[in-house]
């Protein structure tokens, strides 16, 4: 085998230009496939990150009436939804797809949020439990977070985000200041920011409004204080943190099933309205997969088109190997006259074809990687080099050499030594 490889390199180097032109179809095909696969993989990751975020793996499970999330700013809570218990959270946390979970309540744009004479017109208030900041991914950058006693002693304390701190306090430190929420005084004890470094790609006005829809100021209070501000308790929603991105869908669906056990049969109110109330999980991962499938199905067609050049390259290899057999007829006859068996001649020419296409495959891989980087810079699209596609491409190029080199090799092995020695 080593001798066959050595002879293959000798034959390739003795006809450099012809060998390169023979490999060109293989090089172009492999390079095109590597570039397309890398672009597909990079685009799919961008789609997933843009919809989901990078690394937070959180899924919202919200009480919905039909297809609309319940908003208790405008509607009364349904009568058939029970409050969650510690056992409910324990069961969710025991799911293999879930790393942690948190329960919360929320209101958008509360009517009365003041600091002295300053009013915050665009804000959202959250009633959170002790696991909220860790699960959702917030960190305290000023002051402190909630202590255990804040959830049991009904301490009227609040944590705000940076947007509200800058908008309501106008450059002053909010820590220690008292804000008025619907006539109730709350002391600000800390400032929180999202600790994710995810930055989605903003490529249109629609993207801007999509990714900046949560840019209003946020106020967090202990969930036990919710009744103090809004005069009655409301059903909670849930956020679960999945163990990884691929587990998000199952984590959301299984958690929603547990939460829906708190939604009983209709006990009052409109039967049609109450019966349609249930907890539903976000399906961002499914949306991402739908977009990825759409992108991949289009690009798979491009891969098949690029594969045509591999077929053309394989035919080129077969033609050159046939020419090589003709040129080396006397050499083949001499070897057979000295006792070389058919399988030895067959192996020599198959090895030469495989080496030729393998070299083309390696050059094609390097060209494909370079082409991917060029596409990334010129078209401003992400790419992610797939190691699996590189290995498959090189192996496939060897297979092409063996398959298309088989006919010339068989022809060489079947030559009659007497006729071969007489060949001019």
Q: What is the pLDDT of residues 90-122, one digit of tens each?
A: 999 999 999 999 999 988 866 678 888 887 777
Among 207-211, 364-368, 397-401, which is the least confidently predicted range?
207-211
How confident is the model over 360-378, as a mean pLDDT? 85
Query: In the predicted model, is pLDDT for residue 166 greater than 60?
Result: yes
Do residues 400 and 310 lie in contact, with contact meaning Cβ atoms separated by under 8 Å?
yes
Report the candidate in 386, 395, 331, 333 with the shortest Cα–Cα distance to residue 362. Answer: 395
Which range of 104-108, 122-126, 144-148, 151-155 scores highest in mean pLDDT? It is 144-148
User: What pLDDT is stored for residue 267 in this prediction?
Assistant: 43
Query: In the predicted model, is pLDDT for residue 203 greater than 70?
Result: no
Q: Can you spell out the DSSP letters for 198-212?
A: ------SHHHHHHHT
Length of the chain counted residue by residue? 424
Which range of 13-27, 48-62, 87-101 scores highest in mean pLDDT? It is 87-101
CA gyration radius, the chain: 34
User: What pLDDT is stored for residue 198 in this prediction?
Assistant: 44
**pLDDT-based confidence at residue 332 (cuts at 50, 70, 90):** low
- Share the mean pLDDT of the chain: 77
The rounded distance, in Å, linking the Cα atoms of 152 and 147 is: 10
User: What pLDDT is stored for residue 52 in this prediction?
Assistant: 56
Do residues 70 and 303 lie in contact, with contact meaning Cβ atoms separated by under 8 Å?
no
User: What pLDDT is stored for residue 207 in this prediction?
Assistant: 44
Of the two residues 262 and 294, the one the predictor is more confident about is 262
- Sequence-separated (6 or more) residues with CB below 8 Å from residue 71: 108
How confident is the model over 383-408, as a mean pLDDT? 76
Output phi, psi for 312, to 5 deg: -60, -40
In the chain, the percentage of residues whose pLDDT exceeds 70 is 75
Q: Can you spell out the DSSP letters for 336-387?
A: HHTT--HHHHHHHHHHHHHHHHHHHHHHHHHHHHHHHHHHHHHH-------H
217-222 and 118-119 beta bridge pairing: unpaired
Among 33-42, 329-338, 399-408, which is the least confidently predicted range?
329-338
Report the candidate in 103, 107, 81, 82 with the shortest Cα–Cα distance to residue 273. Answer: 81
Tokens of 252: 């959301």
Map residue 76 onto helix, strand or coil.
Answer: coil
Q: What is the pLDDT of residues 209-254, one digit of tens each?
A: 444 444 568 999 999 899 888 877 788 999 999 888 778 888 888 9
Map residue 169 onto helix, strand or coil.
Answer: helix
Query: In the predicted model, is pLDDT for residue 176 greater than 80?
Result: yes
Which range of 32-36, 171-175, 314-318, 339-343 scores highest in mean pLDDT? It is 171-175
How confident is the model over 170-177, as a mean pLDDT? 88
How confident is the model over 280-301, as a mean pLDDT? 64
**pLDDT-based confidence at residue 271 (cuts at 50, 70, 90):** very low
**Residue by residue, what is the 3-state secondary structure of 25-69?**
HHHHHHHHHHHHHHHHHHHHHHHHHHHHCCCCCEEEEEEEECCEE
Classify residue 112 by its DSSP letter: -
Query: In the predicted model, is pLDDT for residue 49 greater than 80?
Result: no
Helix (H) or strand (E) segment spanning residue 151: none
178-181 and 113-115 beta bridge pairing: antiparallel
């Amino acid at each position: 085998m080593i001798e066959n490889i050595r002879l293959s390199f000798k034959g390739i180097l003795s006809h450099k230009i012809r060998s390169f032109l023979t490999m060109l179809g293989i090089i172009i095909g492999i390079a095109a496939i590597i570039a397309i696969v890398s672009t597909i993989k990079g685009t799919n990751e961008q789609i997933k990150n843009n919809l989901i975020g990078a690394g937070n793996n959180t899924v919202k499970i919200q009480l919905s009436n039909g297809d609309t999330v319940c908003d208790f700013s405008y509607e009364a809570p349904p009568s058939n939804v029970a409050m969650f218990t510690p056992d409910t959270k324990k069961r969710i946390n025991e799911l293999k797809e879930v790393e942690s979970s948190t329960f919360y309540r929320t209101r958008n744009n509360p009517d009365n949020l003041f600091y002295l004479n300053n009013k915050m017109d665009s804000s959202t208030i959250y009633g959170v439990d002790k696991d909220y900041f860790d699960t959702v991914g917030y960190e305290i950058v000023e002051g402190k977070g909630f202590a255990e006693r804040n959830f049991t002693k009904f301490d009227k304390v609040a944590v705000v985000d940076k947007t509200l701190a800058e908008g309501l306090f106008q450059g002053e430190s909010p820590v220690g200041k008292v804000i008025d929420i619907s006539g109730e005084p709350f002391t600000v004890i800390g400032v929180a920011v999202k600790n994710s470094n995810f930055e989605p790609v903003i490529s249109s006005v629609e993207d801007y409004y999509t990714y900046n829809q949560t840019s209003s100021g946020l106020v967090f209070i202990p969930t036990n204080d919710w009744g103090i501000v809004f005069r009655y308790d409301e059903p909670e929603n849930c956020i679960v943190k999945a163990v990884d991105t691929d587990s998000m869908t199952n984590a959301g669906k299984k958690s929603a099933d547990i939460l829906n056990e708190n939604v009983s049969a209709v006990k009052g109110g409109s039967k049609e309205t109450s019966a349609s109330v249930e907890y539903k999980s976000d399906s961002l991962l499914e949306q991402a997969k739908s977009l990825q499938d759409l992108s991949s199905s289009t690009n798979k067609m491009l891969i098949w088109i690029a594969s045509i050049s591999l077929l053309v390259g394989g035919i080129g290899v077969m033609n050159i190997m046939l020419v090589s057999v003709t040129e080396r007829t006397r050499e083949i006859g001499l070897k057979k006259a000295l006792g070389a068996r058919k399988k030895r001649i067959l192996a020599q020419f198959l090895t030469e074809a495989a080496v030729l296409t393998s070299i083309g495959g390696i050059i094609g891989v390097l060209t494909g990687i370079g082409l991917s980087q060029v596409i990334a810079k010129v078209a401003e699209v992400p790419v992610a080099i797939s190691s699996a596609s590189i290995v498959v491409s090189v192996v496939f190029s060897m297979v092409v050499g063996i398959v298309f080199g088989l006919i010339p090799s068989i022809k060489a092995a079947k030559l009659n030594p007497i006729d071969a020695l007489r060949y001019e």
